[in-house]
Amino acid sequence: EAGVAQSPRYKIIEKRQSVAFWCNPISGHATLYWYQQILGQGPKLLIQFQNNGVVDDSQLPKDRFSAERLKGVDSTLKIQPAKLEDSAVYLCASRSFLGASEQFFGPGTRLTVL
Partner 1 sequence: GENVEQHPSTLSVQEGDSAVIKCTYSDSASNYFPWYKQELGKGPQLIIDIRSNVGEKKDQRIAVTLNKTAKHFSLHITETQPEDSAVYFCAASKDTDKLIFGTGTRLQVFP
Using the rule CB under 8 A, is 100 a contact of partner 1? yes
Using the rule CB under 8 A, is 108 a contact of partner 1? yes
* Contact region with partner 1 (CB under 8 A), list: 13-21, 43-51, 64-72, 74-82: 43-51
Q: State the virtual CA torsion across 66, 2, 31, 60 in degrees, nearest 10.
A: -30
Using the rule CB under 8 A, is 41 a contact of partner 1? yes
Which of the 8 DSSP states describes residue 76?
Answer: E
Using the rule CB under 8 A, is 106 a contact of partner 1? yes
Using the rule CB under 8 A, is 25 a contact of partner 1? no
Alpha helix segments (H runs only) across 13-66: none
Which residues, 6 or more positions from 14, have their beta carbon under 8 angstroms from its beta carbon? Answer: 82, 113, 114
| Least distance in angstroms from the C-beta of 16 to partner 1 | 28
